[in-house]
Amino acid sequence: MDNQSNFGQRQMVQGDWKCSECKAEIKELPFEPDGDRPLFCRDCHRNRKGSRPDRNF
């Protein structure tokens, strides 16, 4: 099964976007943005992710 060699690799989408928080340029994303939600650069995403409380389900 040769398709396992690509397991874990994400298809990156190339484009020209700006971070909604710090306005840094974003050249590639692991998804196609829909335009309805804000985009964050790697640093801002990491900072936001670390500042949220854990959810208990």
Q: State the DSSP string of the chain.
A: -GGGGGTTPPPPEEEEEE-TTT--EEEEESS---SSS----HHHHHHHHHHSPPP--
- For the stretch 5-14, pLDDT in tens is 556 777 999 9
* Residue 4 belongs to a domain: no
| Biggest alpha carbon–alpha carbon distance for the chain | 44
pLDDT of residue 9: 78
pLDDT of residue 1: 47
pLDDT of residue 51: 73
What is the domain range of residue 43? Answer: 11-51
Cα 19 to Cα 27: distance, rounded to the nearest angstrom: 10
Give the chain's end-to-end CA distance (angstroms, integer). Answer: 37
* Whether the predicted pLDDT of 55 surpasses 80: no
Please count the structural domains in the chain: 1
- For the stretch 26-53, pLDDT in tens is 999 999 999 999 999 999 999 998 776 6
* Residue 22 belongs to a domain: yes
